[in-house]
Amino acid sequence: MNAPSILSLNNSVSEHHKLSDQLSGIDVNIRNILTSVLEGAELSESDAVTLFGATGPALDALISTADYIRSQAVGNQASFVITRNINFTNVCYMGCKFCGFAKRKDESTAELLSFDEVADRAEEAWNRGATEVCIQGGLHPDIDGSHYREILKAIKTRIPGMHIHAFSPFEIWFGALKSKVSVAEFIQDLMDHGLGSMPGTAAEILDVEIRQQLTRDKLTTEQWIEIITTAHQLGLPTTATIMYGHIDAPEHWASHIAKIRAIQKQTGGFTEFVPLGFVHYESPLYMNIPNVRPGPTPEENLRMHAVARLMLNGWIDNIQASWVKLGPGYAQQMLRAGANDLGGTLMNESISRAAGGKNKQEIVPEDMIRMISAAGRDPVRRNTLYGVIEHYERDTVNRSLSPDASVQLIATTADAVRVAS
Ligand code: SF4
């Protein structure tokens, strides 16, 4: 698949004029890169690094170019999925330095849900319209490899139609190790028991030096790639993620996205790319190590979504703006900077505990429709694999959450919704 040339694009004259005007007045290097992408060239790693430095009018041109490429790739729709996150345990001994989620098993807030409790939550979600459950947990030292299979069996016995999107590459590595089988055998067994897709989390930044500092390189770049490509080769789709805005730099971001693109060229197994900004609240990485940044800036978020759209053009159609990380207001902005998906609704009672009952506890489909409408996109509900389930009229009443109002929501949800690790 190659990107279409701008000459063959069927877009409005006003959009062409706006883009041309923006491109004409900016730094010549960035103009040349954006022009060549619009003409169908593949964005190189070094050119991506240059784009990550775009500021002022050049950043505006980058955003407009990404928005234009998005419109050509997937049209004007923006999607969401009704899902429920089920974190079956928060106990983990891996000691990743960025993690504000893991507990020791003797801590008062340590939790390990029974199989029935996991199935109860899945059933409740199904009854409220969910088509997917997203299941991840810490690497609890007392569970064995069969625990993952038993979770799938408990859900599928109760709700055969539920799509189970579950188990990060770190959990797959851990489960295979505990079961003393190969990664391929472990994944195949999970697929045989109902695993429908895998989150491509635990990627953080696919760079040896950075991973060494973040995770002590317990799951190496090579292992992450091997687990993901094995899943794809077995026919199991996965997402792809990046966690940015801590000790990393644009060179790492470009290299990471290039690796994702190379895997996709080989397997075609990624459904989407999800940039996940580092959330520093309660992160040991931020609290204990000097010179760690408190997450990406708003401009870095815009550049990340825009550059990802350009770099993955023709290979991964779906760029997700994670409202959990960005906050609803900023997530809307990403829908105008290359993203075409808002991810999942939020249905998790632990949020109310974390928030002390003071803040908004859930994001429901109506909120998603409102956010998408406010970004000027046509809302659709999708399934996990991006099949459209329902189209909606735009909600024209401007009731979207502001970026400021959403900051508190991110703080209170970050610990309860584990999507980054
Ligand atoms: S990021 Fe995941 S693997 Fe690492 S300590 Fe936290 S829960 Fe454990």
96 CA to centre of ligand 1 in angstroms = 5
Q: For residues 223 and 344, state if they share a domain.
A: yes
Q: Are 42 and 99 part of one and the same domain?
A: no
Determine if ligand 1 sits within 6 Å of the CB of residue 101: yes
Q: Can you give the pLDDT at residue 216?
A: 76
In a domain, 421, yes or no: no
Q: How far is CA 333 from CA 49, 153, 350, in A?
A: 22, 40, 28
User: Do both 336 and 211 map to the same domain?
Assistant: yes
User: Minimal CA–CA distance to 241: which of 206, 197, 276?
Assistant: 276
Q: In this structure, which residue's CA is closest to atom 2 in ligand 1?
A: 421
Q: What is the pLDDT of residues 12-24, one digit of tens each?
A: 567 777 898 999 9
What is the residue whose two structure tokens read 């030292």?
141
Ligand 1 mutation pick, 85, 99, 215, 419, max ligand atoms within 8 A of CB: 99
Q: Within this chain, do residues 21 and 169 fall inside the same structural domain, yes or no? A: no
* Measured distance CA(159)–CA(167) in Å, rounded: 19
Do 375 and 291 share a structural domain? yes
Task: Classify residue 1: in a domain, yes or no.
Answer: no
Q: What is the DSSP letter of 3?
A: P
Q: What is the pLDDT of residue 357?
A: 37
| Best probe residue, ligand 1, of 85, 89, 98, 101 (max atoms within 8 Å of C-beta) | 101
**CA–CA distance from 177 to each of 46, 86, 339 (Å)?**
38, 23, 36
Q: How, if at all, do strands 77-81 and 195-197 pair?
A: unpaired
Is the shortest distance between the CB of 102 and ligand 1 below 6 Å? yes
* Range(s) of the domain holding residue 21: 6-74
Q: Is residue 291 part of a domain?
A: yes
Report if residue 213 sits inside a domain: yes
Residue 324 and residue 261 in one domain = yes
Q: Of 23, 52, 74, which residue sits at a domain end? A: 74
Residue that finishes a domain, picked among 74, 90, 106 = 74
Note the helical H segments in 268-321. Answer: 284-288, 298-311
374 and 241 assigned to the same domain:
yes
**Which pLDDT value is given to residue 414?**
38
3-state DSSP assignment of residue 353 = helix
| Cβ-Cβ contacts under 8 Å for 67 (sequence gap 6 or more) | 306, 336, 337, 338
209: domain CATH number?
3.20.20.70
Q: Could you tell me if the CB of 218 is within 6 A of ligand 1? A: no
Residue 333's SS3 state is helix
How many structural domains are present in the chain? 2
In terms of Cα–Cα distance, which of 344, 333, 337, 339 is closest to 418? 344
Q: Is the shortest distance between the CB of 94 and ligand 1 below 6 Å?
A: yes
User: Can you say how many angstroms the Cα of residue 178 is from the centroid of all Cα atoms in its chain?
Assistant: 27
User: Do 70 and 172 sit in the same domain of this protein?
Assistant: no
- The answer on 92 and 47 residing in a single domain is no
In-domain check, residue 419: no
pTM: 0.90
Looking at residue 412, its pLDDT comes to: 37
**Is 284 touching ligand 1 by the criterion CB < 6 Å?**
no
Residues 171 and 24 placed together within one structural domain of the fold: no
CB of 364 within 8 A of CB of 322?
A: no
Protein residue whose Cα sits closest to atom 7 of ligand 1: 138
| pLDDT of res. 17 | 77
Per DSSP, the chain holds a count of helices (H) and strands (E) of 18, 10
Residue 139 CB–ligand 1 contact under 6 Å = yes
Please give the number of the atom of ligand 1 that sits closest to the Cα of 168.
Answer: 2
In a domain, 38, yes or no: yes
At a CB cut-off of 8 Å and minimum separation 6, what does 342 contact?
A: 78, 79, 80, 320, 321, 323, 331, 335, 368, 371, 372
Among the three residues 43, 74, 105, which one is the final residue of a domain in this structure?
74
Which segments in the chain show pLDDT lower than 70? 1-13, 282, 348-361, 396-421
- Residue at 160 is within a domain: yes
Judge if 153 and 18 occupy the same domain: no
Other C-beta atoms lying within 10 Å of the C-beta of residue 406:
21
Any ligand 1 atom below 6 A from CB of 285: no
Asked if the structure places residue 420 within a domain, the reply is no
**Both 66 and 109 in a single domain?**
no
